[in-house]
Amino acid sequence: MRVLHVTPYFAPAFRYGGPPRSVLLLCQGLQRIGVDVEVITTAANGSSDLPVSGPDGDEYEGVSVRYVARRFPRRFFGGDFAPALIQALARADVCHIHGMWNVAEWQAVRLARACGVPYMISPRGMLQPSARRRGRIRKALAYALLERGSLRYAARLHATGLEEAEAIGRIVGPDRVVLIPNGIDIDEHREGCAGMRARLGIRSDEPLVLFLGRIHPIKRIDLLADAVCRLRARYGAAHLVLAGPDEGGHLAHLRRHLAPLGAFVHHMTPETDDEKWGLLREATAVVLCSDSESFGMSIVEALACAIPVVTTHTSPWSELQTERCGYWVAQDAARIAEALGAIIADPAAAREMGQRGQRLVRRRYDSRTVAATMARTYAEIAGARSVSLLPRHAPGTGLVT
């Protein structure tokens, strides 16, 4: 089976958060179980684009990928996708499209339908109510003109968490929604750089609360800062580390929230995976308190490193409570601080939490398990092509018009 993945951004453009990494891990997992994968994406990487691929494409960590130059409208990841898509669709049994509200998706949907290739969409949280409210006028117009049809003709809609599955089901009905989490390569994730605490000036006996992700308003770092301020009333040596790219200069807007922490707040952008894993392994706890999360890769990464997690009811992680590997609390600074205090107060219990979390990841989120489930979904799609799709065309038949 050959699967074409289309995404507006791809590794190593990790400044866009979890999706580039989760799509990479999915492709690698699929290859390990014998699925042939190919990726088409833009060269988007924030303010400085990645190199555009030559005629033979590129390879990133074993995955065949073609980086297309961005064109107008750059904000919506515009690019000259059509020639590359037509060639790749001629080889594909299924097209898997990641993300919405962008040119890459719109062109992939149009050409997949024209070529008779069934497609699946992973909205990656972009159909969540909170996500649809951001830029709602623009999105309402795009939905009426483009996205409604994209969803109508999709063979499947992929959700990574229960809340996202329910949100998508309310739009398209539950029958075409598949719930498959993101995976992680448990056996190959790195030990990480040693001495990350020392680099930041944090002693080994001082609590380190870690946020790993984009510095963006939706992540509610203002709420996290308030929680750590409350925590420091009991544990004065507690540090907050913000590890991720500062998107849109949002860090400057957080100054008044972070100022009370003084020298006990640190910001860095991990330059390598080794630095990321090093931070995770040396953390006391990882916190995610976003207004909305469809999944939350940093949670799985923390659990894989046996680190307890605190997240809020705005993320789909109630199993932290049921599996006793962290805390799932109200999106409230006092509740977050209380959960962090419980982790710090009992190091032995925290270690047991981490060990349970590690076992949970191995059981449910191993990339091979996730890839096998996804491959079965692809097989179902490829075996039941929609009668509404046009017959497959050969490349170069005027589909760019």
**Block residue for tokens 């001082």:** 206
Cα separation, 113 vs 338, whole angstroms:
52
Topology alike, domains 2-183+366-383 and 196-364 = yes
Q: Name the pTM for this structure.
A: 0.83
Domain range 196-364, its CATH number among 3.40.50.12780, 3.40.50.300, 3.40.50.2000, 3.40.50.1820: 3.40.50.2000
DSSP-derived secondary structure letter, 49: P
At 389 the pLDDT is 38
Is 281 in contact with 191 (CB distance < 8 Å)? yes
Give the model confidence (pLDDT) of 287-344 as tens digits: 999 998 889 999 999 999 999 999 999 999 999 999 999 999 999 999 999 999 999 9
Spatial CA neighbour of 241 closest among 260, 267, 259: 267
Cα separation, 138 vs 142, whole angstroms:
6
At 132 the pLDDT is 83
- 400 pLDDT higher than 90: no
Find the helix or strand (DSSP H, E) in which 364 lies: helix 347-364
Angle between helices 347-364 and 297-304 (to 10 degrees): 110
Is 257 in contact with 173 (CB distance < 8 Å)? no
Tell how strand 78-79 and strand 70-71 pair up: antiparallel
Give the model confidence (pLDDT) of 149-179 as tens digits: 999 999 999 999 988 999 999 999 999 999 9
Which CATH code is given to the segment(s) 2-183+366-383? 3.40.50.2000
Percent of the chain with pLDDT over 70: 94
Task: Give CA separation, 268 vs 215, 294, 349, in Å.
Answer: 11, 25, 29
**Sequence-ordered strand ranges (E) for 8-127:** 36-42, 58-60, 63-68, 70-71, 78-79, 94-98, 119-122
Residue spans of the domains in the chain: they are: 2-183+366-383, 196-364
